[in-house]
Structure 1
Amino acid sequence: MACILGGISLPSQASHKITTSSEDGIFTFWKKKKAETESDTTKGKDKTSKLKKYEEIVTSEATTKKGVIDIHRVKKDYYFEISDSLLSRDFLLVNKISKVPSEINELGFNKGINYQNLLIRFELDTLAEKIWVKTYHPYYEGKAGDAITQSVEDNYIPSIRESFDLACFGKDSSTYVFKVNKVFDGSEKSLNDLFGILGMPGAAVKDLSTISAAKSFPENLVMKSLLTTKAEGITITIEVTSNIVLLAKEAMKPRFADQRIGYFTTKHFYYSDDQQAVENREFVNRWRMEPKPEDVEKYLNGELVEPKKQIVYYIDPSTPPQWRQAIKNGITDWQAAFEKAGFKNAILAKDAPANDADFDGDDVRYSMITYAASSQANAMGPSVIDPRSGEIIEADVIWWHNVMTALHSWIRIQTGVIDPKARDNKFSDEHMAHAIRFVSSHEIGHTLGLMHNMGASAAFPVDSLRSKTFTTKMGGTATSIMDYARFNYVAQPNDGVVNITPQIGVYDKYAIAWAYRWIDEETPWDEVKVLSQMIRKHENDPFYHYGPQQDGKNTIDPSAQSEDLGDNSMKASRYGLENLKRIVPEVEKWTYEEGKGYEKAGKMMMGIIGQWFTYANHVLANVGGVYLDQPVYGETKSAYIQVEKAKQKDAIKYLIDEVINIPQWIANAEIYKKSYPIKESVIGDIEYAPTTLFRDLHARIFYSLLEKERLLRMQQNEAENGEDAYTLTEMMSDLHQGIFSETIKNKKLDVFTRQSQKNFVDVLIISQNQTLEKTSKKSLQENQKANCCPFHQHMPLLCDYGVKSRELFQDHEQEDETSRYANRNLFYATMNRVSDDVSVKRGEMLRIKDLLTNRLKIADEATRFHYQDLILRIEEAMNTH
């Protein structure tokens, strides 16, 4: 079948494989048309042609940049000149932020951020004398020769995104010239929807926007623009860089992903006549790593060889000199992992050249560690992907200057007890550089394709983290630097542990070997057996386990949590608490500055409370928890294992002893006489009265503990395991005995205990009412819409190095969930009205009412009024008064 492009019949190709060359007849046609046009113009017969002579467009005043596509600047106008041989070739349009104003700098929109990628093709329309720019998704492929392949071609055609009027032919009629101002000067947003993607109201104001620079190179071109918008009375100008990159004719051979190992992926669908279901595959996002042709035999014989193309990262010149070597070391530390894949000198770190006019950090030929002057305390590692194969063609690490504040807080609070170097208000450059090296390695891991492996820390027994021998041998705090394992808060002062910082571990080297080992097979299907065997070798070894990151608001698997350590949350957290108890009396001493106020002491105390609350959440995840795995046929592992009854019961005991009944060491710390806990915010520092702070934290704990998904998981556990399960009624009884222990003893209650009991009763009432509400049709539709698009591209992955996940009054993990969490949707919440949690909550409220009714004669007035209030609340909620 043929498709019609402006009156010319061209052979139709599948959407994933369209090529056009001079042999297709275009060259001959245009040569003939040019001759006809010139002849008619000479005779004065052609009055309608829009095409001018080359010299009339590319005048003597033109400045030309030669490259993959020549760029001509004629006064204020920019023209592209594209070769006939590049029509219908695949290009990747990559839009990046280069410079930002202060108004958006603090929002995390900084230089180096890649905000839009489009796969484009330039195609001719000879009748209309236009160049079309088409976009397409290369995710669908039909088997050559099969009948269904024609349907693939018909159902997944490219879309026309932009068009340009042809201005003239090239000098030899094999190139075509067209003006491109409108897509780079803010007139059109078809190829650069900057403000829409950033979520800003309005569009670019043309009179306040302009093209600022243009460059062309053998395989890409760069256009820089200053785009201005006005929103709510504020004028914002952002410099952006648009790269148009010529992709290889032959895409890299993809590698099929495996759910048992954690990589970012690109979706793909295969169609063939012999199917009874479409074959869905995911491609691993990875760099093209191949031996040189002359080294193939050596490589296959097990010798280390240099790859055909090395991965090179350049350090931003704006990076402070004292951190550059640490960042470089964090990059080259990955070399040991690539050696497991058979390659030496595979990954390099270099300073950006100082006097190279052609070097531009926004040019996608260069992978950059971009240093951003911002108060943001974070880092992230996005990459640019060839969507045809999952090949990483460029990567960046965005490094916000203030990430060091987060590192300083963690290191001091988590390791200050065991490491005197970690106690000062300002660390030595050497000590901070050591932490920066860890962050560098973690972010580079993302740019190599690795996802977070939050299960890596659970591979180490808790007590082993107190062993100098073990930690020296294994290095760090987990088997993967891609975990949020942070620093060793388990080790105690006399343990002598010195290896307390996360490092590239066993899992990381294994994962790189799996994705990057070159396999001499023709197709990705041929590789599957080899790759599966690599995983099966370590089937039951926890050091090689992959635990995907979970939504922090609904953690199911307690062995794959953020910021935890060891294989037992309660044990690790109790060790952590012992260290926090040692730190609290030292806060004033460690933050002392002559003549200064106590703001740093207040902020450090808030950090300690944040760590205390983090431990509580780690423990809480064990209640109703399920250890998750993703076995394949032939393996002996289970997909779901309920957390042991003893562990769940111990988790409730921990919560009662160390959280719900707030310990005096944290509730009434001596430092509160000088400063309340202080939280930084956009409106300035906020000082929180301890009673207010702990009331809020208690509410969070109770709501999380009694959420319907958790309780329904506990019912599933009881259904499966009977008496071996930790049941809802047992948990509620244990909570009752703990929360109301002073009431049961008929003792006077203090403020914190009264707050705790009120919080618990309020949560019982509110969560029960929510459970009995009908699910609205709207919410169901919204849920379906949120999960309907299989090609939602992940935004750059933002690592939680900032304090926001530890800021106690904000939601955790606010990034795009499709990038951060594994696509594992376990569904428990249904038929809410007939689940046991309603009965158990009502039963507990009646039990509380009976208890309080029998304690109304207590002499303490505040306690008696408290009991009367709770009884009224319960009666009103249950309509029993």
Structure 2
Amino acid sequence: MRKHVMLALAVLAALQATGQEKKDSTEKKDSTEKTKQVAYEKVITKNAVSRRGMFTVHVVDNKYYFEIPDSLYGRDILAVTRYVATPENVRVYGGERANETTIYFEKGPQQKVFVRQNVVKAEAKDETQALYKAVQNTTVRPIAAVFDIKTTNPANGQVVIDVTDFFRKENPVVSMAQSSKTELKLGGLADDRTFITSIRTYPINIEVKTLKTYTVQAAPAGASTLEMNTSLVLLPKEPMRRRLFDERVGYFANSYVLFDDNKQSTENYSIIQRYRLEPKDEDIAKYKKGKLVEPKKQIVYYIDPATPKKWRPYLMAGINDWQKAFEQAGFKNAIIAKEWPENDTTMSMEDARFSVVRYFASDIPNAYGPRISDPRSGEIIESHVGWYHNVMKLVHDWYMIQVGPNDPRARKMEFDDELMGDLIRFVSSHEIGHTLGLRHNMGSSSQTPVELLRNKKWVEANGHTASIMDYARFNYVAQPEDKIGKDGLYPRIGIYDKWAIQWGYKQIFDTKDEYEDRKILNKWVIDSLNANPRLWFGGEGKDDDPRSQTEDLGDDNIKANDYGIANLKRVVPQLINWTKEEGDMYDNLKRMHKAAVSQYNRYLYHVMKNTNQYYTTFKSSDQKGDVYTEVPKARIRSAIDYVGRQLMEPPLWLYPDELTGKLRFNTMTEISDMQQNILNTLLSPGMLYNIAQRSYDYPVSAYLLDIKNAAWKPLAGNKTLDVYYRNTHRMYIERIRMILKQPKDKMLTNAERSDARLYVQQHLLALKKELQSTTDSNALNQLHYAELVKEIDKVLKGDEE
């Protein structure tokens, strides 16, 4: 026994000795590595140009160094890379975002400094919970870059790293995404033609400008040089109080998975994106009493000096229009537009501290409103609105085609500055709404009764839609005899927008956290919607709900679009006069006629969406009513009737004779293609299957009869119309053939194997009987009927030819 004890003590002593040797070795190694550091004055020489800010930045012989305060290790930094200037024809523009990520600096082993990306998608509810450790063990942050410590400042102990290659070369933090390089057909970085042009440091941010040259993959081989700017913005040490996302209010949001010791499963949740808008400390008591106060920090948008001067006031007005919405949240002067101070050399439009409306010299007819937000809290840090010059072409064409009969100012190719300015103002407000955190609300327009859109007093007072975040362009329902002015024709910030800003930005006091806030916010939603259903958020228009569509108006888009067609019938005959310009080779006429046809098709597809299955109204369990309700039978039948009246009765008015001699189009082909596309939808196995699943009494046989009555026009002896009618008869039989034709060597879908086939066969037999009893003195028509009977026989027999 004693021998064993002595042996164990000997082994332990040996292990301790070995451990001590390793420790001594490590200490010597660390000491040696520290002594390897070059003296500070040999790295940061007397020739260095040094600037103090968030980090101290040194420039020595075209090399750039960061000297990082110890207090900023581990602090989250938002890294945003933008294009400053780009080559022609690459379809990206100065001010647009190329990359965005959150990083932090960390002292690593072996005299290294790491840059880690802070990608957060899972978290524990509370740092004191046991699950917090488990979450941390599964969320190791990726190392994006590693730096050698070049020296240490003896005056303050701050280490110095060389960041030259970090910003010159490619890495996940400062490089554009690979997908962007592929789209731009860029190859590798040309090292000899890539430079840092400046690094400037400020109290909470660092701005790095580079010229980066890439080889070009596309022929002819060459190079492409882009000027880039990377902003490193120090995020707040204490993140803003989060506000949890609610599907009933349209905000952009960041999504997470929540782990909680007190829950039996994970919870998916999201936090909305919004600016940090808080009352000043001395105004909190006033704010609580409902008095308007100014925020600690105003939301400011600057106008790009590249913007034509005559349009700047209208862009600014579109921004300032949001002040009224923020008053509903308790703040006055919360948002303001300013001209960019061109003479202030301390400011840069690429600086991520400043929100800017950037003006692009582009033929793209568009504008967009992005946001840069703190991923920890959803706090919007800044936005660079993209404004393409050719957005004016887009709004011009909408306005002429939709409300030309109501506004004489719309009846020419070059609008007066006042009218174009008004249209710019509404687009500006829409895009700024996105930058404030608001998503599209495509269902908002459905909350206005159609007849109120023709009520001059009401629509001029309230606007034609409850939200400027809808794609409700202009009031095409208004008829000339209604004499509605521009206040009833233009979109504007509406009651939904003001309420959504109130819901997202109004301060909540005396609660522990965002989870307690959610209970209050839920009550706000329920009470507000009960009081005013027009505050409904209808989503992005991407589901099957026919109330949530782009470009539509009113609570009954069938009735609304009949009014729209009436206006379109007034527009088309006037296009030659309205588009006439000296020297124009009918290019204007071609463009505006195409816009008229597009508008007609919008009306058609708005109506067609009523044949879908459900309305979707998101509700919490403490609200009354169902989330999903079926579209009524009467609405479906009304949609089919619209198709019969406005399409199957061929819209020859859309292609008048006076245009056919000046524009090249085949009226028969264009109309027939429209008719075929609609019949393919109405007479598809999927549609018939959906009709069969309805809870109310609308059998497939009745549906088929409605389609037939709409599409199957009797031959009436009109030479022009009968050509179209005979064509749709043939189309109708062809489409039914496709329903009954079973796919070979393929598993059938539920729709294809359903009883719908039996109803179709019954329908076809009835149609055959009707054709056999039809007589016509016109020999061509008689031949047509006989041919249709033969085709029906082939379909019923399943003959293949």
For 1:621, what is the secondary structure of its paired residue? helix
Q: Offset of 1:185 from its aligned partner?
A: 2.0
Q: Is 1:530 matched with 2:520?
A: yes
Q: Deviations over 1:287-346 (max 9, x none)?
A: 111111111111111111111111000000011111111111111111111000000110
RCO comparison, higher one (Cα < 8 Å, 6+): 1
Structure-to-structure mapping, 1:471-550, within 5 angstroms: 471-474=459-462, 476-498=463-485, 499-520=488-509, 521-540=511-530, 541-550=532-541
Provide structure 2 residue ranges, at least 5 long, that are not aligned to the other structure: 1-26
Structure 2 counterpart of 1:24:
none
Structure 1 residue runs without a partner (length 5+): 1-31, 42-48, 677-687, 777-829
Given that 1:744 and 1:851 are in contact with CA atoms closer than 8 Å, whether structure 2 keeps it comes out as: no
Q: Give me the whole-angstrom Cα distance separating, in 2, the residues matched to 1:748 and 1:671.
A: 18
Paired AA for residue 548 in structure 1: G
**Alpha-carbon distance in structure 2 between the residues aligned to 1:768 and 1:79:** 74
SS in 2 for 1:507: helix
Within the candidate set 639, 644, 656, 1:656 is matched to: 644
CA contact (8 A) 1:307 1:346 kept: yes
Alignment partners' CA distance in 2, 1:646 and 1:438: 36
1:724-739 to 2 correspondences below 5 Å: 726-739=698-711
1:204 and 2:189 correspond: yes
Per mean C-alpha deviation after superposition, the further-off stretch among 231-240 and 194-203 is: 194-203
1:693 aligns with 2:670: yes
SS in 2 for 1:85: helix
What do the CA deviations read for 1:724-756 (whole angstroms, capped 9, x no partner)? xx4433222122223222269999964433444
My pick for the range that moved more, 374-383 or 234-243, is 234-243
State the alpha-carbon separation in 2 of the partners of residues 503 and 772 from structure 1: 55
SS at match of 2:68: strand
1:130-164 deviation per Cα after TM superposition (whole angstroms, max 9, x unaligned): 43434321542242322222111111221122222
The separation in 2 between residues aligned to 1:765 and 1:70, in whole angstroms, is: 76
Match of residue 724, structure 2, among 752, 764, 782: 752
Are 1:75 and 2:58 an aligned pair? Answer: no
Deviation of 1:459 (Å): 1.2
Report the secondary structure of 1:104's partner residue: coil
Find the residue that maps to 2:344 and give its secondary structure. coil
Aligned pair count reads: 765
Aligned-pair distance for 1:836? 4.1
Contact 1:69/1:216 (CA < 8 Å) preserved in 2? yes
What's 1:84 paired with?
Answer: 70
Query: Quick check: 1:93–1:243 contact (8 Å CA) kept in 2?
Result: yes
1:298-697 to 2 correspondences below 5 Å: 298-474=286-462, 476-498=463-485, 499-520=488-509, 521-540=511-530, 541-551=532-542, 556-676=544-664, 688-697=665-674
- Larger gyration radius, structure 1 or structure 2: 2
Cα gap change, 1:755 to 1:175, in 2 (>3 Å): farther
More displaced, 707-716 or 285-294? Answer: 707-716
**AA partner of residue 545 (structure 1):** W
In structure 2, C-alpha distance between the alignment counterparts of 1:312 and 1:389, rounded to whole Å: 20
Quickly say closer, same or farther: Cα 1:304–1:144, change in 2 above 3 A.
same
> Which stretch of the first structure deviates more once superposed, 391-400 or 163-172?
163-172
Q: Aligned residue for 1:231?
A: 217
Decide whether the 8 Å contact of 1:196 with 1:203 is kept in 2: no
1:747 and 1:354, CA in 2 relative to 1: closer, same or farther beyond 3 A?
A: closer
Larger deviation, residues 145-154 vs 690-699? 690-699
Q: CA deviation at 1:254?
A: 0.3
Instruction: Tell me if the contact between 1:623 and 1:648 (Cα under 8 Å) persists in the aligned partners.
Output: yes
Alpha-carbon shift at residue 702 of structure 1 (Å): 2.9
Q: Is the CA contact (8 Å cut-off) linking 1:133 and 1:163 kept in structure 2?
A: no
CA contact (8 A) 2:651 2:671 kept: no
Give the alignment's TM-score, normalised by structure 1. 0.81
Alignment check: 8 A CA contact 1:34 1:169 kept: no
Find the counterpart in structure 2 of residue 169 from structure 1.
152
Question: Structure 1's 485 and 863: CA in aligned 2 closer, same or farther, altered over 3 A?
Answer: farther
1:584-606 CA distance string (max 9 Å, x none): 21111111224432221122111
Relative to structure 1, the CA distance from residue 748 to residue 634 in structure 2 (aligned partners, 3 Å threshold; closer, same or farther) is same
- Other-structure match for 1:795: none
The letter for the 1-side match of 2:79 is L
Structure 1: how far apart are the matches of 2:353 and 2:797?
Answer: 67
State the partner residue of 1:684. Answer: none
Instruction: Tell me the SS of whatever aligns to 1:434.
Output: helix
Aligned CA distance change for structure 1 residues 707 and 561 (closer, same or farther; 3 Å): farther
Alignment of 1:13-162 (within 5 A): 36=31, 49=36, 51-105=37-91, 109-127=92-110, 129-137=112-120, 139-162=122-145
Amino acid at match of 2:534: F
Q: Is the 8 A contact 2:102 2:119 kept in 1?
A: yes
Deviations 1:443-488 (A, max 9, x none): 11101111111111111111111111101221x2101111111101
> Which deviates further from its counterpart, 595-604 or 150-159?
595-604
What code does the residue aligned with 2:43 have?
Answer: I
Which whole-Å CA distance do the structure 2 matches of 1:675 and 1:303 have between them? 62
The answer (yes or no) to whether the contact 2:546–2:612 under 8 Å persists in 1 is no
CA contact (8 A) 2:371 2:435 kept: yes
Q: In terms of mean alpha carbon deviation, does 74-83 or 355-364 score higher? A: 74-83
Q: Is the 8 A contact 1:103 1:236 kept in 2?
A: no
> After the TM superposition, which of the residue ranges 181-190 and 318-327 deviates more from structure 2?
181-190
Distance 1:651 1:574 in 2: 11
Q: Secondary structure at the match of 2:359?
A: strand
Aligned partner of 1:799 in structure 2 is none
C-alpha contact 1:142 1:152 (8 A) present in aligned 2: no
| TM-score normalised to structure 2 length | 0.89
- Describe the superposition over 1:533-559 as per-residue Cα deviations: whole angstroms up to 9, x where unpaired: 2111233432111100223xxx51111
User: Cα RMSD over matched residues?
Assistant: 2.9
Q: Is the 8 A contact 1:845 1:874 kept in 2?
A: no
Q: Output the amino acid matched with 1:699.
A: Q
Question: Structure 2: how far apart are the matches of 1:709 and 1:175?
Answer: 69
